[in-house]
Amino acid sequence: MLMGLNQYNELVYAQHAKIDDLYRCPECLSELIIKKGKHTTAHFAHKSSSLCIRNRYKRESIDHLSSKHDIYKSLNGLIQVDMEYYLSEIDQIPDILINKKIVIEFQFSPINLDLLISRTEGFKSLNLQVIWIGKNAHYHDGMLYLTIFQAALINHEDRTFITYNPTTKCLIRYKDVQVIDQHKFLANKEQIVWRDLLEITNIREIPSLFLNDCEYYQYIRKCRKNRSVLEPTLSLLYQSGLIHKERLDIIGIIVPEQIYILTHCITWQSYVFFEIKNGTFSFERCLEFIKFRTFYNNSYSRECVLKKAIHSYLKIIQVKFISRAKISK
């Protein structure tokens, strides 16, 4: 932790703590020791192992401590910044609390997604907005590669994903995030400063995209390798008469709502296409068929997302059918 109480009951920042003074934990009031070193951000630790909430709440790595230190140093004095402020109503300690309104949480190592969601819900119940910051991600040629946990830190409302690297001091905001595959995302990268986190990001409308041939065939190859009854894509494509011919442009459309959908666009569109062609389409069964992504802010409506996704998809293929009919006339 970075804050301790001195003998006058004042909160002291670890960096300013004097080695010979006595400091106590703001929560359990037990004695603290100061840890300072060349390669570590000055911080406090309980002298004897304790059951204090601060120890139970999260394990703080050196990267975590130094990230908290960096944001605090940059914003303190400009706006109201509270570090490690214990919110007794929900028994949570956000890393940083800004203007008693915005919580900043660094989450560099994966935690259970249910825990991530429940912590977010806790903050929301106090009307606090939370910004989760992840560890640097691999980004190349406009493509962002994320683990399922990192992807859960995406803000699906404004389609941003934020990372911080305490070694290089690089704070990055990925914008206009859209999904290509389970772990592959399209995004625009920009370097920002801490203050930028407080601005509201303009939400741009995301267009529907057409999966390119390379991605399309790569996925089909993956399905072929994975010859399992649980992989329905190939059989759906066969049954719809879509596999033998050259690729048709009615499968493999990335609709704006794809960000919420874990099932590959080729798979769910083969399903929707097949069921509609057969006259057996049912929204409820479709809802069961499709797997959705888990986000920290997980209270979005699956029904609503799926309705919109199918609507976006059908609108596009309708246009394609009409233009094809015109050409063949």
Amino acid at 302: R
Choose between 52 and 248: whose C-beta lies nearer to Zn ion: 52
Contacts of 20 (CB under 8 A, 6+ apart): none
Considering the complex, what minimum distance in angstroms separates the CB of residue 93 from Zn ion?
Answer: 11
2 lines the binding site for Zn ion (CB under 5 A): no
Contact between 50 and 28 under an 8 Å Cβ cutoff? The reply is yes
- How many residues belong to the site for Zn ion (CB under 5 A)? 5
Least distance to Zn ion from the beta carbon of 125, Å? Answer: 24
Least distance in Å: CB of 310 to Zn ion?
52
Residue 234 as a binder of Zn ion (CB under 5 A): the answer is no
CA atoms within 13 A on the CB side of 1: 30
- β-pairing, 143-145 with 3-5? unpaired
CB of 94 to Zn ion, least distance (A): 17
Give the residue with the Cβ less far from Zn ion, 55 or 188. 55
Q: Does 1 bind Zn ion (CB under 5 A)?
A: no
Nearer to Zn ion, 31 or 249 (CB): 31
d(CA 70, CA 41): 10
Q: Say how far residue 59 (Cα) sits from the centre of its chain.
A: 20
The β-bridge relationship of strands 102-106 and 129-134 is parallel
Q: Nearest distance from residue 37's CB to Zn ion, in Å?
A: 22
Site for Zn ion in 47-76 (CB under 5 A): 52, 54
* Closest to 96 (Cα-Cα) out of 117, 75, 77: 75
Tell me whether residue 86 or residue 145 sits nearer to Zn ion (CB atom).
86
Binding mask 15-44 toward Zn ion (x if CB under 5 A, else -) reads ----------x-xx----------------
Q: How far is the CB of 31 from Zn ion (least distance, A)?
A: 10
Report the 10 Å Cβ neighbour count for 85.
17
What is the three-class DSSP state of 306?
A: helix
- Rounded to whole angstroms, how far apart are CA atoms 135 and 165? 7
The smaller minimum CB distance to Zn ion, of residues 24 and 159, is found at: 24
The least CB distance from residue 70 to Zn ion, in Å, is 24
Of 283, 245, 249, 246, the closest CA to residue 265 belongs to 249
Distance CA 249, CA 252 (A): 7
- Rank residues 26 and 252 by Cβ distance to Zn ion and give the closer one: 26
Question: Does residue 131 bind Zn ion (CB under 5 A)?
Answer: no
Cβ closest to Zn ion, residue 29 vs residue 203: 29
Q: Which residues bind Zn ion (CB under 5 A)?
A: 25, 27-28, 52, 54
